[in-house]
């Protein structure tokens, strides 16, 4: 078993390959994330951070290079196997919550567990525990529309962790919130991640938030540099 949750080696990604307007978004990305490590990814808009997170989370494939998750080389695997690994090992959080509007907060966290074969009672208990950890257990029976923006994001964090992944990938997780709320919600995310011991790559434009993580990296001209 590797002590690296995520390992990217020499990743390159070019959109519209061969065309005049081809974009070389990632040229040579190397990244090693240890178990339990939380890394900030800082990048100007358009620098390719979503592309990088999608490749790390097996939602996209690189043109060249290698992706390893929990020591397993996933680069050449079939779509079906990549999907299975993604479901089991990777949690995603975006700037917008993307919760299912017709289900309650609790149900939004239960459903991915049921899809993974967890029994209903166990899934509900786990969902309640996650909601308690981020301070919104009292909102468990509410639908997303009845929650504040900060509460919606807290529920989205719980959903991302529902199936106990080893890696969390977050793309501007508090970017849609006002600064005061963003600060509190970010603190809740950090506590949740630290409490569960998983590894995380969190993209943010906010250097104050980045400074609260273990390591800060910037995506610069298609490669990662330490800040």
Ligand X SMILES: Nc1ncnc2c1ncn2[C@@H]1O[C@H](COP(=O)(O)OP(=O)(O)OP(=O)(O)O)[C@@H](O)[C@H]1O
Q: Contact 145/101 with Cβ under 8 angstroms? A: yes
Q: Does 46 bind ligand X (CB under 6 A)?
A: yes
Q: Does 50 bind ligand X (CB under 6 A)?
A: yes
Q: Please identify, among the stretches 38-46, 69-77, 107-115, 159-167, the one whose residues bind ligand X according to the rule CB under 6 A.
A: 38-46
What is the smallest separation between the CB atom of 203 and ligand X, expressed in angstroms?
Answer: 7
Q: Which of 1, 16, 19, 197 binds ligand X (CB under 6 A)?
A: 16
Pick 38 or 56: Cβ nearer ligand X: 56
Size of the site for ligand X (CB under 6 A): 12
Q: Please identify, among the stretches 4-12, 47-55, 62-70, 187-195, the one whose residues bind ligand X according to the rule CB under 6 A.
A: 47-55
Neighbour-count burial for 40-74, b at 16+ CB within 10 Å, e otherwise: bbbbeeebbbbbbbbbbbbbebbeebebbbbeeeb
Task: Tell me the per-residue interface mask from 119 to 158 with ligand X, x by CB under 6 A, - otherwise.
Answer: ----------------------------------------
Residue with tokens 């567990």: 113
Q: Does 117 bind ligand X (CB under 6 A)?
A: no
Which alpha helices (DSSP H) does 102-146 contain, by range? 105-115, 120-133
Q: Does 51 bind ligand X (CB under 6 A)?
A: yes
Q: Could you tell me the sign of the dihedral formed by the alpha carbons of 92, 96, 102, 108, in that order?
A: positive
Pick 48 or 65: Cβ nearer ligand X: 48
Pick 108 or 153: Cβ nearer ligand X: 153
CA 68 to chain centre: 16
Pick 50 or 166: Cβ nearer ligand X: 50
Q: How far, in Å, CA of 207 to CA of 106, rounded? A: 32
Q: How far, in Å, CA of 157 to CA of 191, rounded? A: 11
Q: How far, in Å, CA of 58 to CA of 67, rounded? A: 9
Residue with tokens 């506590």: 191
Judged by the rule CB under 6 A, the positions of this chain that interact with ligand X are 15-16, 23, 25, 43, 45-51
């Amino acid at each position: 078993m590797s002590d690296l949750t995520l390992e990217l080696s020499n990743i390159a990604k070019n959109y519209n390959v061969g065309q005049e307007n081809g974009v070389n978004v990632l040229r040579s990305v190397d990244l090693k994330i240890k178990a339990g490590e939380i890394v900030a990814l800082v990048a100007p808009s358009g620098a390719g951070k979503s592309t990088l997170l999608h490749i790390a989370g097996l939602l996209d494939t690189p043109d060249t290079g290698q992706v390893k998750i929990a020591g397993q080389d996933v680069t050449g695997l079939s779509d079906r196997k990549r999907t299975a690994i993604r479901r089991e090992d990777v949690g995603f959080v975006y700037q917008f919550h993307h919760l299912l509007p017709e289900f309650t907060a609790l149900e939004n966290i239960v459903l991915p567990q049921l899809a993974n074969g967890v029994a209903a009672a166990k899934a509900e208990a786990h969902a309640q525990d996650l909601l308690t950890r981020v301070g919104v257990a009292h909102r468990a029976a509410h639908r997303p529309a009845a929650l504040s923006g900060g509460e919606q994001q807290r529920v989205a964090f719980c959903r991302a962790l529902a199936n106990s992944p080893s890696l969390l990938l977050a793309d501007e997780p508090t970017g849609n919130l006002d600064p005061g709320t963003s600060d509190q919600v970010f603190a809740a995310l950090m506590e949740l991640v630290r409490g569960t011991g998983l590894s995380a790559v969190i993209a943010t434009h906010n250097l104050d938030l980045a400074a609260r993580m273990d390591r800060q990296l910037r995506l610069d001209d298609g490669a990662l540099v330490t800040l």
